[in-house]
C-alpha cells in the first residue's frame, strides 16, 4: 500500500500483531467495520463483525470503542449492541465503558441545515438527508453527479452559520462545532479502562485523520483502511475483511500473551 505525498512514495505496512502490549482500539464503522453502502440504512448487523467485537472486548478488558460519524443509536444497531464504549457524530455523542453517555447541545443552525438539505434532496432523486440532531448529513452515493452542487450548498451554509463542514465518502456533514474523532479518542484515553493503554485508531476517510493524529500524539498510531492517500496513519489495511482478519489475530495474540 502506498501513499503519495508530493514526489515521495510512502509504504504503509500492515499493523503489527504480536508486538502489541495493552492496546486500546478505536474503530470507525463505515468503511472499516462495515462496507460502505448506497444508503445508510443498508448497513446491517453481521454475525462475524459482532463476534469479533465481543471477543476483542473480552480479551482486551473492555479497551475497544467504536468512533464513528453515525449516532450512538446507529452504532448500536449495526454492531448489534456489542460495544459499550462508543462515540457518535464525530465526538458530539460519547458513551464510556461504564455506560454513562454525554451529548453536546445542538447548534440551532443545524435545523437550518436540515431544512436546506431536505429542499435540495427533494429535487434530486437519490440524494439522502440524515438528521442527527447535532448534525445534518447529505448523502449523494446514489447520485454522484450531484457532488459538486452538494459541496457548494454545504460550503455556503457552513460559511453563513459557523457549522463545521465535515466531508466523508460521498457524504457531506454540517455539525455542531467543538469536537471531532480526535477529541473523542483523547477523552476515552483519559478514562478507565483505556487510561495508560496503547491507542490505535483504525479509519478510512478524512474524518478519521483527527483520530490518527490523537492516537499518535498519545504514543500510539493510526491504521488507514482502503486506497492510499496522504495520511497521518502509520499502517494500512486493504478493506473491511482485512480489518476483521487483523482484529481476530489481535484477539488471539492478546489471549496468548502473559499479563
Which residue do the cell numbers 488471539 mark? 252
Neighbour-count burial of 178, counting CB atoms closer than 10 A to its CB (0-12 exposed, 13-18 middle, 19+ buried): middle
28 is catalytic: yes
Task: Give CA 161 to chain center in angstroms.
Answer: 25
Which DSSP state fits 18? T
- The backbone torsions φ and ψ at residue 166, rounded to the nearest 5 degrees and listed phi first, read -115, 100
Measured on CA atoms in the order 34, 86, 50, 210, is the torsion positive or negative? positive
- How far is the C-alpha of 191 from the C-alpha of 79, rounded, in Å? 22
Q: From the candidates 28, 30, 107, 208, give the one annotated as an active-site residue.
A: 28
Could you tell me the three cell numbers for 153? Answer: 450548498
CB 177 within 8 A of CB 107: yes
Instruction: Give dist(CA 159, CA 146) in Å, integer.
Output: 20
Both ends of the chain: CA-CA distance in Å? 33
User: Could you give the residue numbers annotated as active site?
Assistant: 28
Amino acid at each position: 500500500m502506498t501513499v503519495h505525498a508530493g514526489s515521495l512514495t510512502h509504504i504503509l505496512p500492515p499493523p503489527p500483531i504480536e508486538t502489541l502490549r495493552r492496546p486500546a482500539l478505536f474503530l470507525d464503522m463505515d468503511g472499516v467495520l462495515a462496507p460502505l453502502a448506497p444508503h445508510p440504512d443498508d448497513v446491517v448487523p453481521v454475525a462475524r463483525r459482532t463476534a469479533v467485537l465481543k471477543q476483542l472486548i473480552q480479551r482486551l478488558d473492555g479497551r475497544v470503542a467504536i468512533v464513528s460519524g453515525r449516532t450512538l443509536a446507529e452504532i448500536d444497531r449495526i454492531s448489534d449492541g456489542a460495544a459499550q464504549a462508543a462515540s457518535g457524530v464525530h465526538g458530539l455523542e460519547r458513551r464510556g465503558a461504564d455506560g454513562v453517555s454525554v451529548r453536546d447541545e445542538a447548534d440551532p443552525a443545524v435545523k437550518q441545515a436540515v431544512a436546506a438539505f431536505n429542499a435540495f434532496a427533494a429535487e434530486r432523486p437519490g440524494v439522502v438527508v440524515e438528521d442527527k440532531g447535532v448534525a445534518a448529513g447529505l448523502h449523494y452515493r446514489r447520485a454522484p453527479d450531484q457532488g459538486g452542487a452538494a459541496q457548494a450548498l454545504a460550503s455556503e451554509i457552513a460559511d453563513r452559520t459557523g457549522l463545521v463542514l465535515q466531508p466523508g465518502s460521498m457524504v457531506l456533514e454540517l455539525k455542531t462545532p467543538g469536537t471531532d474523532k480526535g477529541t473523542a479518542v483523547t477523552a476515552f484515553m483519559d478514562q478507565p479502562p483505556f487510561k495508560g493503554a496503547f491507542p490505535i485508531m483504525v479509519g478510512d476517510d478524512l474524518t478519521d485523520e483527527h483520530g490518527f493524529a490523537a492516537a499518535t500524539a498519545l504514543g500510539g498510531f493510526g491504521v488507514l483502511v482502503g486506497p492510499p492517500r496522504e495520511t497521518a496513519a502509520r499502517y494500512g489495511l486493504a478493506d473491511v475483511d482485512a480489518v476483521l482478519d487483523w482484529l481476530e489475530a489481535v484477539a488471539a495474540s492478546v489471549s496468548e500473551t502473559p499479563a
